[in-house]
Amino acid sequence: MTLPPAEHTAELPGAIPPPGCPAHVATGPGGATRLYGGAAETDPMGLYEELRAKHGPVAPVLLDGDVRAWLVLGYLENRDVASRPTQFSRDPRVWHGWRSGEIDPATSPLVPMIGWRPDCVCADGEEHQRLRGAVTAGLSQFDHRGIRRHITRFAHQVIDTFCEDGEAELVGQFTEHVPMLTLTHLLGMSDEAGPRLVHAARDLFKATETSLASNAYVLESLAQLVDAKRVRPGQDIASALMAHPANLSDEEVQHHLRLILLAGYETTANLMSNVLRMVVTDPRFRGSLAGGQMTLPEAVEQVLWDEPPLMVCPGRWANGDTTLGGQQIKAGDMLLLGLAAGNVDEAIRPDPSTPVHHNRAHLSFSAGTHECPGQDIGRIIADTGIDILLTRLPDIALSIPEEDLTWRSSTWARHLTALPVSFAARAPQDFDVPSPLPAPPAPSVGTPAAPPWQSAEPEPAPEPERRPEPRPSWRTRLRRLLRLR
């Protein structure tokens, strides 16, 4: 999954428009409800309930450009669609909209989400097994304790960059960094690549003028990684993809590296932000954690039920005419998995306020043959990173009124834009890592020169005839990199 490019995303305050407000439910041609703009961005959960009340478990909706699709709202119907790949294909080329001219592939912001790419997301059957086999082999080579060690190191380093300040903005300074540092490490890149890629990935999703340059930067980083690993393979995902008997082409390797990086980063960062927001805004949630009634993995699972990082997952395409949830689906129709709606379907959760401890049957990682293969890694990054943050800064408190929190929203996901907190300033711990950032000038794997929009501070070159400047500590270098914006 690659999250939206956000050309049509909006930054919105937490406030929900009052019922009756024209922004609340927008309808398009044929009276179908728009799943973009208006209520889809300000109150998506409310909109799903209105659709459920009107249409039942499967509702006709319109995507950006008034492109028609079916939104699956029922829990069982979501599982059904995700688990029957012969009836509901994952290959977007099945969609009739490409042929009917319903979409302009050159300009539609939907293309990054529903366009075909040579990766496992867009494949069915044996081709899917071939590509996914290589991905799962790459992900499962790491033992969980080893991954935890790396996350621990990265989380401490990142906290050390702001713990003396007594305040931090946790989305920009923490939740967006720990997953990227971990994923770039697992992919086989140098630790130095992580902070720069955070900025490129954030920029890419925001569809600013520099998004194309950022996308090019991500691709260039991955191309360099592949070249380097061909010469000197290691125990990392890039090397595993290249060596796998599925015999992936260079293009397939690069597409899967990009898929793992972007799919794993954005979702995990979003999950961490949502858990931390609950910690600083909901005294009951925090009290259960502090009092031991709820463990951190249980808290993460609760948030996965209530606020899936990906609320709507594109897409499946009907291989033939069929009936689903009482609706007549035609061959080639597009279906969207309503993961957030399915998670609160009263057929399985009559009272959504009842805690779901120990229950992992939510749809947030989808289901069936395409179910997220990185879910354990996502969970470990979230649990470990948040655990370290709360252990080191147990007194964090939201430093703005809760109603001033804002989100960046789209059809597919909702991202908290900032989580400003304060806490008692503390000294860094200088977590015991001799040199996490490799010394220049040797080119480091997977880190091309900073893209033009980044004002990277170059390492000071020693002047001739003078004693070289002492090399800044790893913490100073990480601080500098994290502050590149």
By CB under 6 A, the residues from 77 to 136 that bind ligand HEM are 82, 120-121, 132, 135
For residues 289 and 382, which CB has a smaller minimum distance to ligand HEM in the complex? 382
> Quick check: 255 binds ligand HEM (CB under 6 A)?
no
Would you say 196 and 454 are in contact if contact means Cβ atoms under 8 Å apart?
Answer: yes
Three-state DSSP class for residue 382: helix
Work out whether strand 334-338 and strand 67-72 pair parallel, antiparallel, or are unpaired: parallel
Binding ligand HEM (rule: CB under 6 A), the pick from 47, 147, 377, 396 is 377
Three-state DSSP class for residue 114: helix
Q: Which helix (H) or strand (E) holds 78?
A: helix 75-83
- Residues 184 and 106: their CA atoms lie apart, in Å, by 31
CA 129 to chain centre: 23
For residues 139 and 344, which CB has a smaller minimum distance to ligand HEM in the complex? 139
By CB under 6 A, the residues from 157 to 216 that bind ligand HEM are none
For residues 310 and 329, which CB has a smaller minimum distance to ligand HEM in the complex? 310
Q: Please spell the DSSP secondary structure of 274-314, one letter per residue.
A: HHHHHHHH-HHHHHHHHHTSS-HHHHHHHHHHHS-SSSEEE
Give the list of residues 6+ apart from residue 250 with CB closer than 8 angstroms, or none: 226
For residues 142 and 423, which CB has a smaller minimum distance to ligand HEM in the complex? 142
Q: How far is the CB of 117 from ligand HEM (least distance, A)?
A: 11
The length of the chain is 485
For residues 157 and 375, which CB has a smaller minimum distance to ligand HEM in the complex? 375
Q: ∠283-289-292 over CA atoms, to 5°?
A: 130
> Quick check: 268 binds ligand HEM (CB under 6 A)?
yes
> Quick check: 139 binds ligand HEM (CB under 6 A)?
yes
Q: How far is the CB of 122 from ligand HEM (least distance, A)?
A: 8
By CB under 6 A, the residues from 301 to 340 that bind ligand HEM are 309-310, 313
Stretch that binds ligand HEM, among 17-25, 41-49, 203-211, 260-268 (CB under 6 A): 260-268
Among residues 99, 105, 184, the alpha carbon closest in space to that of 150 is found at 184
> Quick check: 1 binds ligand HEM (CB under 6 A)?
yes
By CB under 6 A, the residues from 396 to 455 that bind ligand HEM are none
Residue nearest to ligand HEM (CB): 374
Stretch that binds ligand HEM, among 2-10, 54-62, 282-290, 370-378 (CB under 6 A): 370-378
Among residues 386, 434, 373, the alpha carbon closest in space to that of 148 is found at 386
- Residues 329 and 135: their CA atoms lie apart, in Å, by 32
Binding ligand HEM (rule: CB under 6 A), the pick from 61, 110, 259, 299 is 259
- What does R_g of the chain's alpha carbons equal in angstroms? 23
Stretch that binds ligand HEM, among 222-230, 261-269, 352-360, 445-453 (CB under 6 A): 261-269
Write the single-letter amino acid at 482.
Answer: L
Residues forming contacts to ligand HEM in the complex (CB under 6 A) are 1, 82, 120-121, 132, 135, 139, 259-260, 263-264, 267-268, 271, 309-310, 313, 364-366, 370, 372-375, 377-378
